[in-house]
Amino acid sequence: MRKLIEILFVFLFVTLVSVHAKLNPYDMVHRDIRKESALSSSDKKKKTSVPERYAQWFADSEMQRFPEAWQLDHGKAPFFGYAQGVGCCAMLQMWKSTGDKRYFDYVEKWADSLIDDKGDIHLYRVETYNIDYVNSGKVLFDLYRETHKDKYKLAMDLLVKQMKNHPRTLEGAYWHKLIYQHQIWLDGLYMASPFLAQYGAEFNKPEWIDEAVKQFTLCHKHTYDGKTGLYHHAWDESKSQRWADPKTGHSPNFWGRSIGWWFMALVDALDYIPQTHQGRADMIIWIQNLAEVLPKYQDKDGLWYQVLDQPMREGNFPEASVTTQFMYAYAKAVNKGYVDKKYKVYAEKAFKGVKEKLLVENADGTLTLTRCCQVGGLGGNPYRDGSFEYYIGEKMRDNDAKATGPFIMGCLELAK
């Protein structure tokens, strides 16, 4: 009888282990998140925070739906695009947070396949002087440090060479692209300035730190609106564009995501700007001023709108990328001590709003982030006039990397 009981016990134990091993990892994460509210305070201390779990859940969701990193942002072919760069920056943050090398390998496979041994980047054309190209260079610092592949340093040098010759306004601000002559866009500050500051810090080239600070200073000078405390999407030095105010050169509206790019650029670049740098204090003041203003436009659900300052205007809507970008920037600004801890509540409200209003759990256990603006710009063909009607008329889609990357990074900052 005793022998029979021992056999039954072993059988039950093996069965339980087998069932547990077959559980979908997404099911495990989701089950744990739903249990969070039932955990005692002592149990919570032993477990990762809810934002941290959502970061992992969403990062794993992205890797499941986009098995290759070039597919992030719905990429159709291998490309070193800026949106893929945003998503891959988030994956590298996941690697640093969890120690799980899957996230690093996901990014390295992408970069390794697109950069040859000479440091040349697939489909990169320096003669277009497109500042967007530079953003993906941010991932190369970690890849170079970990793999010691010279081609990653050569690729960074190539991007810096572009910025040495990049066209500028008369004061020295970078044009957004060669095809957008005389124009500063807020987007461009995120694309290049944190990269240049890090390059200067990593390779003892302080002139590039100075250059990054100069770009922030000129952009603030020409896009800041003193009445609202917000920033215009763009400024045309020539005042010749149809979207430009004939007196100020400003674009007419405050596009949410463009200010998100600016806010993130400030908090990221400061990682590499020395405490003693004369431009650092101004950058922190700009962060503080923006942190003070933005809650005015956050809705009751914690979300921000496509056209930031007109949330109640008919046709306007809560948008994912501006919300996740502000969530990230607020949380990081608090963690770095740039703003008072009281501002963390706005990042927490944004996280709650995204979780409850914009995230959808799919049948396969993955998460989808909805209500992402696909693209926003000025000029071009067909011509984009920067009007309220233009911004609210842009296409929306799910799982856009310009929203998903900041969501992952914002969750990780909230978990610190």
Q: Range of 173's domain?
A: 49-414
pLDDT at 342 over 50: yes
Side-chain half-sphere CA neighbours of 407 within 13 A: 32
Could you give the percent of the chain with pLDDT greater than 70? 89
Q: Are 118 and 154 in contact (CB under 8 A)?
A: yes
∠ CA 416-64-115 to the nearest 5 degrees? 85
Q: Phi and psi at residue 244, in whole multiples of 5°?
A: -85, 135
CA pair distance 204, 142, nearest whole angstrom: 16
Instruction: Please give the model's pTM, rounded to 2 decimal places.
Output: 0.89
Q: For residue 18, is it within any domain?
A: no
Strands 234-236 and 183-185: antiparallel
Q: Are 83 and 72 in contact (CB under 8 A)?
A: yes
Q: For residue 39, is it within any domain?
A: no
Q: For residue 1, is it within any domain?
A: no
Residue 174 is encoded by which pair of tokens? Answer: 């970078």
CA pair distance 78, 80, nearest whole angstrom: 7
pLDDT at 45 over 90: no
Does 1 or 360 have the greater pLDDT score?
Answer: 360
Residue 41 is encoded by which pair of tokens? Answer: 């305070």
- Signed CA dihedral, 84, 414, 335, 310: sign only: positive
In the chain, what are the helix, strand and coil shares in percent, each to the nearest 5? 60, 10, 30
Per the structure, the count of domains in the chain is 1
Question: What SS3 class is residue 172?
Answer: coil
The residue with tokens 């489909």 is: 123
Conformation bin of residue 234: beta by default, left when phi > 0, alpha when psi is -120 to 50: beta
Q: For residue 268, is it within any domain?
A: yes
Q: Which tens digit of pLDDT belongs to each residue from 284-328?
A: 999 999 999 999 999 999 999 999 999 999 999 999 999 999 999
pLDDT of residue 179: 98
CB neighbour list of residue 328: distance below 8 Å, 6 or more residues apart: 264, 347, 406, 407, 409, 410, 413
Residue 110 is encoded by which pair of tokens? Answer: 């992408």
Beta strands in 7-92 (DSSP E): none
Which run of H or of E encompasses 353? helix 344-353
Q: For residue 22, is it within any domain?
A: no
pLDDT band at 184 (very low <50, low <70, confident <90, very high): very high
Q: What is the CATH number of the domain that holds 239?
A: 1.50.10.10
pLDDT at 22 over 50: no
Active-site residue identified among 60, 132, 142, 187:
187
Catalytic-residue membership of 187: yes
**Residues forming a β-bridge with 372:** 397
∠ CA 32-335-264 to the nearest 5 degrees? 95
Q: For residue 36, is it within any domain?
A: no
Residue whose C-alpha is closest to residue 213's, from 156, 264, 278, 294: 278
Which run of H or of E encompasses 151? helix 150-165
Mean pLDDT of the chain: 92
Q: For residue 270, is it within any domain?
A: yes
Q: Which tens digit of pLDDT belongs to each residue from 225-260?
A: 999 999 999 999 999 999 999 999 999 999 999 999
Conformation bin of residue 391: beta by default, left when phi > 0, alpha when psi is -120 to 50: alpha
pLDDT at 385 over 80: yes
pLDDT at 267 over 60: yes
Q: For residue 4, is it within any domain?
A: no
